[in-house]
């Protein structure tokens, strides 16, 4: 030690007190802010499956590797940060004593080898990510850059610090080799080459260690002051967000929509109390704490944005910008909410009031003005000139097709679709603010049981066009006892001319294969998928319970494993298979491509002529991403002799047709 190293060490320790204080303070503010959200009791257990999935996603980088060019580089940076913190904090010792290091471990060859890999891997990884960010820079046309709208200041800051840290690990080690020798070609294979370029200098090593320490301290200080910088904080919050993801089996939050919840309970038509329950999300505080954790964890990487069909067709919706807007609004409003502030639906203060109903002006004045202004801001609405803009524009909210591309691609398991549906629920059930076309949809579903408002008896018309008998429950058969499948035709399959071709073809193939099936005919009602995805939760429940009552009467006395339904519509497939169990309907549901493919493999269906043509296949979102049915349709086409030519976007990255999320019933006016 000398006077310079002691001075540098003392300065480092002194400044780190402010840095650690800033970081801990920021973490506590974030924790308290996330706690504003409503209860989510279903997110804690089971512990071991959730913990296991968190570790798998962390170590194997299963989500990040969906973008392979980024996955390996991010893995290097992640490991460099996770383990490199231990190496970085060694600078506390090295600044005072350049020859020193952590007691015990600094003498181990394994420690030096890991240190070598961490420094080199961090530099290579972060350099690759910097290049990728520049290649995708927003100076490109706005909708071609997945980073469009992201906080570049935060990103550049984090990337710079990580690069300096990686270089610091290399240079301190190389400086020590140049000054003190003792290089091991097995553990110091790279730094010993760098050391040849450096002079032997105790002061140089101390200065390098000081720079390494200060870069970490600057990071802690700045990040602690900016708790909405998800690009920095996700390295802590992502672990929790993955653990608390909706599905405890590790799958993403697709398939069934999240049930509508209030104060931790699932709302049904029987237990809802309109006076006390929150229907959907009309204010930022209506989201659960998991929702707030989602907003906090967003890294602004833009993978969701790059895959979003709405964004790619000129609509105002970017899943990334939507989550960022909710985050920024939530944290800006948090001081008001943490002070106890609340407003009723009319905008009157109900939180900071005394026993006589008078507003506590002193308490209100103590809240920062920015937070009070943010409290007056609508969560969803139309942008009106001269008024404060809503957090989420109505056009943005209703542009979503629920395709799930954002959820599928998100590396930190944010549940975009569930949050969008919750906001729609409030708009429909409380505000009665929704696209005018949906009014007709809701009316037809409620009164006629189908979106077009057709007569139920017309569901049987397609059967009259067949040249063989198709049994109808309650008309040709009173029991399911002698049948294998109930063929769920669906509204489009019964009424829409193009879909009826599929219905008739499937019925003919099933009959050819000797499969005994029946249909419900006029007793079939819409599954309610469009109602639920549009936010009309109670209409969905009404339709679902009506169908479940009918299905249970069909399957009365039939053992569970034989209650089989085959469907052609991807939305019916998802609703019957994933959402009906929530309201008491548990059946085995298969898509017609799965059943037909099985029949081909069993030689019960044999192609009579080869289709020697090139064919492409579009993966429906609610069959593919939501239910992971990718192989059966392709195998079925191969069996026909056709050659499958994949589109650029297929499988889990398939481009949405635009009809999901009740968009089927709305006009395309934008983009």
What's the average model confidence in pLDDT over 437-466? 95
Average pLDDT over residues 226-238: 96
| Other beta carbons less than 10 A from residue 338's beta carbon | 15
All structural domains of the chain with their residue ranges: 3-11+46-226, 261-434, 438-665
| Cα(138)–Cα(146) distance, integer angstroms | 8
**DSSP string of 559-595?**
-GGG-EEEES-HHHHHIIIIIGGGGT---EEEEHHHH
Structure tokens at 411: 């590396």
Percentage of the chain exceeding pLDDT 70: 99
- What b-and-e string marks burial along 277-290, b requiring 16 or more CB atoms within 10 Å of the CB? ebbbbbbbbbbbbb
Q: How far is CA 306 from CA 63, 103, 221, 254, 363, in A?
A: 15, 48, 32, 19, 44
Report how far residue 377's alpha carbon sits from residue 337's, in angstroms, rounded to the nearest whole number: 13
Whether pLDDT at 139 is above 80: no
The predicted-structure confidence for 276-308, as pLDDT tens digits, reads as follows 899 999 999 999 999 999 999 999 999 999 999
Mean per-residue pLDDT for 147-171? 93
Residue 67 has pLDDT above 80, yes or no: no
Residue 68 has pLDDT above 80, yes or no: no
Tokens of 575: 């609703």
Q: Dihedral sign for Cα 58, 62, 65, 67, please.
A: negative
Q: How far is CA 578 from CA 10, 621, 655, in A?
A: 61, 14, 22
| Alpha carbon distance 170, 184 (integer Å) | 15
Place of tokens 């194997």: 60
Task: Give me the pLDDT at residue 138, please.
Answer: 66
In DSSP terms, 566 is beta-bridged to: 487, 590
> What's the CA gap between 669 and 60, in Å, rounded?
43
Pairing of strands 485-488, 517-519: parallel
b/e burial code for range 469-498 (CB count within 10 A of at least 16 → b)? ebbbbeeebeebeebebbbbbbbbbbbbee
Write out the two tokens for 277. Answer: 């329950």
Which among 376, 249, 380, 226 is positioned nearest to 296, based on CA atoms? 226
Distance CA 324, CA 312 (A): 19
What's the average model confidence in pLDDT over 558-581? 96
How many angstroms separate the CA atoms of 335 and 165, rounded? 34
Overall pTM > 0.85 = yes
Top mean pLDDT of 197-206, 347-356, 399-408 is at 399-408
Compute how many other C-beta atoms are within 10 angstroms of the C-beta atom of residue 559: 7
Taking the C-alpha atoms of residue 537 and residue 423, their distance in angstroms, rounded to an integer, is: 12
SS3 letters across 336-349: HHHCCCCECCCCCE
Determine the average pLDDT of the residues in 580-588: 94
pLDDT of residue 183: 82
Integer Cα distance of 483 and 168 in angstroms: 72
Q: pLDDT tens, 595-654?
A: 999 999 999 999 887 777 899 999 999 999 999 999 999 999 999 888 999 999 999 999
Other C-beta atoms closer than 10 Å to the C-beta of 208 total 26
Angstrom distance (rounded) from CA 660 to CA 488? 19
Q: DSSP of 458-495, one letter per residue?
A: GGGGGGGG-SS---BBTTTBS-STT-SEEEE--HHHHH
Task: Phi first, then psi: give them for residue 392, nearest 5 degrees.
Answer: -120, 120
What pLDDT does residue 199 have? Answer: 92
Angstrom distances, CA of residue 150 to CA of 27, 221, 234, 255 = 22, 21, 14, 29
- Rg of the chain in Å (alpha carbons): 30
Tens digit of each residue's pLDDT (9 = 90 or more) over 530-560: 999 999 999 999 999 999 999 999 999 989 9
Which residues touch 460 (CB under 8 Å, ≥6 apart)? 472, 521, 522
Q: How confident is the model at residue 426 (pLDDT cuts 50, 70, 90)?
A: very high
* Helix or strand run (H / E) with residue 63: none
Average pLDDT value for residue range 236-262: 95
Calpha distance 99→255 (Å, rounded) = 58
> Residue 348 above 90 pLDDT?
no
């Amino acid at each position: 030690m000398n006077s310079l190293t002691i001075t540098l060490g003392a300065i480092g320790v002194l400044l780190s007190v402010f840095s650690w204080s800033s970081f801990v303070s920021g973490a506590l503010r974030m924790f308290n802010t996330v706690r504003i959200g409503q209860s989510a009791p279903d997110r804690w257990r089971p512990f071991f499956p959730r913990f296991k999935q968190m570790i798998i996603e962390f170590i194997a980088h299963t989500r990040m590797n969906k973008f392979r060019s980024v996955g390996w580089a991010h893995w290097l940076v992640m490991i460099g940060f996770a383990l490199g913190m231990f190496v970085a904090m060694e600078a506390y010792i090295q600044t005072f004593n350049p020859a020193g290091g952590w007691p015990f471990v600094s003498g181990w060859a394994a420690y030096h080898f890991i240190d070598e890999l961490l420094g080199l891997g961090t530099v290579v990884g972060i350099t690759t990510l910097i290049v990728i960010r520049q290649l995708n820079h927003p100076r490109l046309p706005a909708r071609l850059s997945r980073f469009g709208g992201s906080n570049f200041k935060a990103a550049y800051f984090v990337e710079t610090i990580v690069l300096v840290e990686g270089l610091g690990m290399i240079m301190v080690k190389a400086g020590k080799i140049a000054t003190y020798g003792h290089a091991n070609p097995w553990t110091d294979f790279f730094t010993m080459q760098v050391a040849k370029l450096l002079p032997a200098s105790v002061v140089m090593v101390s200065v390098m260690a000081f720079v390494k320490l200060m870069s970490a301290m600057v990071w802690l200080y700045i990040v602690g002051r900016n708790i909405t910088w998800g690009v920095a904080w996700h390295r802590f919050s992502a672990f929790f967000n993955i653990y608390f993801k909706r599905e405890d089996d590790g799958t993403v939050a697709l398939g069934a929509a999240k049930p509508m919840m209030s104060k931790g309970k699932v709302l049904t038509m029987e237990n809802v109390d309109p006076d006390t329950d929150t229907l959907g999300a009309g204010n930022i505080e209506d989201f659960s704490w998991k929702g707030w954790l989602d907003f906090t964890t967003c890294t602004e990487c833009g993978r969701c944005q790059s895959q979003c069909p709405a964004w790619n067709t000129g609509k105002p919706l970017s899943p990334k910008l939507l989550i960022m807007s909710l985050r920024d609004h939530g944290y800006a409003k948090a001081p008001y909410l943490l002070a106890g502030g609340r407003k009723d639906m009319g905008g009157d203060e109900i939180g900071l009031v005394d026993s006589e109903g008078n507003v506590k002006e002193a308490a209100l004045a103590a809240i920062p003005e920015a937070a009070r202004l943010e409290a007056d801001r609508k969560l969803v609405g139309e942008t009106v000139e001269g008024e404060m803009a809503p957090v989420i524009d109505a056009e943005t909210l209703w542009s979503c097709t629920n395709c799930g591309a954002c959820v599928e691609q998100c590396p930190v398991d944010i549940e975009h679709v569930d949050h969008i549906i919750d906001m729609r629920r409030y708009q429909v059930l409380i505000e009665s603010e929704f696209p005018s076309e949906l009014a007709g949809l809701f009316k037809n579903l409620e009164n006629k049981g189908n979106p077009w408002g057709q007569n139920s008896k017309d569901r049987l018309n397609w059967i009259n066009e067949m040249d063989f008998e198709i049994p109808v429950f309650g008309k040709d058969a009173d029991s399911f006892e002698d049948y294998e499948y109930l063929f769920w035709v669906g509204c489009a399959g019964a009424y829409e001319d193009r879909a009826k071709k599929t219905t008739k073809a499937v019925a003919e193939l099933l009959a050819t294969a000797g499969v005994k099936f029946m249909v419900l005919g006029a007793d079939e009602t819409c599954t309610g998928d469009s109602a639920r995805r549009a936010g009309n939760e109670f209409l969905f429940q009404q339709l679902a319970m009506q169908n479940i009552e009918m299905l249970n009467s069909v399957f009365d006395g039939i053992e569970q494993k034989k209650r089989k339904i085959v469907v052609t519509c991807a939305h019916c497939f998802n609703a019957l298979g994933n959402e009906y169990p929530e309201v008491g309907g548990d059946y085995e549901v298969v898509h017609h491509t799965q059943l037909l493919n099985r029949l081909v493999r069993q030689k019960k269906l044999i192609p009579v002529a080869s289709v020697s043509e090139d064919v492409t296949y579009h993966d429906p979102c609610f069959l593919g991403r939501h239910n992971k049915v990718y192989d059966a349709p392709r195998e079925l086409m191969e069996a026909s002799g056709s050659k499958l030519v994949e589109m650029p976007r297929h499988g889990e990255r398939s481009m949405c047709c635009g009809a999901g999320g009740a968009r089927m019933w709305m006009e395309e006016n934008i983009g």
